[in-house]
Structure 1
Amino acid sequence: MSRVAAICYAVGLPLALVELVFLPVGHFDWPPGWLFIGFLVVAYGASALILAWVNPVIYRARSRFQPGTKRWDLILLWLMLPAMIAEIPFAALDAGRMSWSMVPAFIVVLGYVLLGAGIALGTWAQAVNRFFEPGVRLQRERGQHVISTGPYAIVRHPGYVSALMVFAGLALALASWWALIPAAWASAILILRTQREDALLRAELDGYADYAQRTRFRLVPGLW
């Protein structure tokens, strides 16, 4: 990533987050919104610095959808994207303006725990997996092989576990039960995506079937 692009990301993403949170609220005098934004900026900023140090190639791998991305994956992502975009402003509208939800403080704390743990897990997965791209495809030109270290020794798709934790954490940290609806939709699409990706890797990636036998759980250790 060029210096200019890095600066644009560093400035543009927090500004976009401010818009997503405060436009539905209608004013900037909402402390939970600033706490939420500050937490995400610090957490994702730390994640970006760690990845720039331990696995900088991940930025090129994740910069765009690469040729060969499966068509079914692009369809699933387009089905999931509206819910992902809507979750934060919907939660802010609920908690900061309409007060539809009554969420206890300990649930809000749980939301931040899920957010922090999800971001940390996603960072760990990207740190050990140089093939961590935004789209599903076989990366033969990059010599893709099975990654079985780090969180991949526990579950086969830790990046998706991270996303599921973040989806739930976003709604709860902003104190909105109703925002769990788009979170649940995005999570359901993501779970379907893991099933399709797992089948593809079993069929076409050398060694993945053996890895799947050793690492039996796709998303939840000890359960599934």
Structure 2
Amino acid sequence: MRIVRRLEQDGGFLFRWRSYLPLVIVPVGLPALYQAAQFEALWGERAEDIWMLACILLSIGGLAIRWLTVGFVPAGTSGRNTHEQRASFLNTTGLYSVVRNPLYLGNFVVILGIALATKSWWFVLIVALAYWLYIERIIAAEERFLAAKFGAGYLDWLGVTPAFLPAFRLWKRPAERFSLRTVLRREYNGVLSVGLAYYGLEAITDLAIEGESLRTWFQEDGIWSWSLAAALMLFLTLRTIKKNTRLLHVDGR
């Protein structure tokens, strides 16, 4: 079997399970949290707070890449579908004009922020390598599907647009207007996922590794619980609106 064909077949499997496969690496990250506990002892509490804030902002930047992608695309594209490949249109404007896979780029930036929050260089390298091996196969499967569906038009776009590192000189104005309602309808999962990830990192490090009491943790680091509660409330609110009303529906988006 040709290597490319094997990559495409692996990518088809990974595509269906791409929402859950990143969780496989979580157990590998647990030993890295011991280094996170040592960071404060070496550099101080203020340095740790600044580092965590920078990591959170990086992850929010990754979410923003997703928002700026999803907010400009028409219906039937750039979705969270897992059962099969779907693309009603070929997106070649907006962020798709500078990089072929802006959603996967956004995901990587989110995950990179979370990995850096462990303060472990070896874990960051493992995450980056694992993500590339995983996403390379998904991209191979998607490229085969898109080439078969859109033909020469897709191949022309593929020939000039980089796969993962943006080339901003290629920028083309989005064909659609930005739709905040589309972003709210389709991207509320990401905020909760990021909130859970950082909450889990902080809770495990402070409570399980450093041995801080739950009461003290709530008193001194209550912002983590409040932030998670806000993310959960946003998730439940938007999910309820999406499932029970058409307030977030936009025709053609």
| Match for residue 117 of structure 2 among 158, 173, 178 | 173
The answer as to whether partners of 2:14 and 2:134 remain within 8 angstroms in 1 is no
Relative distance call for 1:107 and 1:160 in structure 2 (3 A) is: same
Cα distance change of structure 1 residues 222 and 107 upon mapping to structure 2, 3 Å threshold: farther
**Residues 160-199 of structure 1 aligned to structure 2 (within 5 Å):** 160-180=104-124, 183-184=127-128, 185-199=130-144
Q: Provide the residue aligned with 2:102 in structure 1.
A: 158
Give the aligned CA root-mean-square deviation in angstroms. 3.7
Residue correspondence of structure 1 range 82-161 to structure 2 within 5 A: 82-83=24-25, 85-86=26-27, 92=33, 94-96=35-37, 108=52, 110-129=54-73, 130=75, 131-134=77-80, 135=82, 137-139=84-86, 144-161=88-105
Question: Residue 138 and residue 212 in structure 1: after superposition, are their counterparts in 2 closer, same or farther (change >3 A)?
Answer: same
Report if the CA contact (8 A) 1:94-1:100 is conserved: no
**Contact conserved, 2:97 with 2:161, CA < 8 A, in 1?**
no
Cα pair distance change 1:186/1:81, threshold 3 Å: farther
* Residue deviations 1:36-78 (CA, integer Å, cap 9, x gap): xxxxxxxxxxxxxxxxxxxxxxxxxxxxxxxxx9445236666
One of 15, 22, 25 as aligned partner of 1:73: 15
Q: Deviations over 1:180-204 (max 9, x none)?
A: 2552223431233223322321222
TM-score, normalisation: structure 2: 0.46
Distance 2:15 2:41 in 1: 34
In the superposition, relative to structure 1, how do residues 150 and 78 fare at CA in structure 2: closer, same or farther (>3 Å)? Answer: same
Alpha-carbon distance in structure 2 between the residues aligned to 1:178 and 1:89: 12
Question: How far did 1:209 drift?
Answer: 2.1
Q: Is the 8 A contact 1:90 1:179 kept in 2?
A: no
* Structure-2 residue corresponding to 1:220: 165
Structure 1 unmatched runs, 5+: 1-68
CA distance in 2, matches of 1:102, 1:156: 41
Question: 2-side partners of 1:209 and 1:119: how far apart?
Answer: 28
What SS class does the counterpart of residue 179 from structure 1 fall into?
Answer: helix
Contact 2:112 2:124 in 1 (8 A): yes
Q: Which amino acid aligns with 1:192?
A: R
In the other structure, the counterpart of 1:16 is none
How many residues in Structure 1 have an aligned counterpart in Structure 2?
Answer: 149
Check whether the contact 1:101–1:175 (CA below 8 A) recurs between aligned residues. Answer: no
In structure 1, distance between residues paired with 2:147 and 2:161? 13
Q: What is the aligned partner in structure 1 of residue 155 from structure 2?
A: 209
CA 1:90/1:181 → structure 2, altered by over 3 Å: closer, same or farther? farther
Q: 1:170 to 1:180 in 2, by over 3 A?
A: same
Secondary structure of 1:219's counterpart equals coil
Q: In the alignment, residue 137 of structure 2 is paired with which amino acid?
A: L
**Which secondary structure does the structure 1 equivalent of 2:71 belong to?**
helix
CA distance in 2, matches of 1:102, 1:167: 25
Shift of 1:168: 1.1
Aligned residue type for 2:113: G
Please give the alpha-carbon distance, in whole angstroms, between the structure 2 residues aligned to 1:101 and 1:133.
44
Q: 1:12-23 alignment to 2 at 5 Å?
A: none
Taking a change above 3 Å as real, the CA distance of residues 77 and 177 of structure 1, as seen in their structure-2 partners, is same
Taking structure 1 as the reference length, the TM-score comes to 0.51
